Structure 1
């Protein structure tokens, strides 16, 4: 509760809460996983970038969008 501001029936992250949240996201984006198609490790940040490129090509009518599927 110390990382939230509660006002007018809303609950928002305060400055310290935002910093903790952003740090956690940055750490997660730097983690790597094994990409099955490429047989190498890639970061989540790189995967997000690749998905953006694929979506752009789809929206421009260049190719059909095929989402990345994570296997457990």
Structure 2
């Protein structure tokens, strides 16, 4: 076992927990789709949530690349 693998386990568990949390938010929000009568604040919230999920995917991908380099 490589030394970096020990640290990877908690990180991967964190990633999985966050993935589950964001999947639930996406499902509850109609995949970040505001209703037809949504106010500007709700539209902004849904936009930011979708952007956050995209950034999270990039973050996880970068961490996996860095881990593979160890």
TM-score, structure 1 length as denominator?
0.32
Higher gyration radius (CA): 1
Which protein has the bigger helix share? 2
Higher relative contact order (CA 8 A, sep 6+): 2
TM (normalized to structure 2)?
0.32
Give the strand-richer structure, 1 or 2: 1
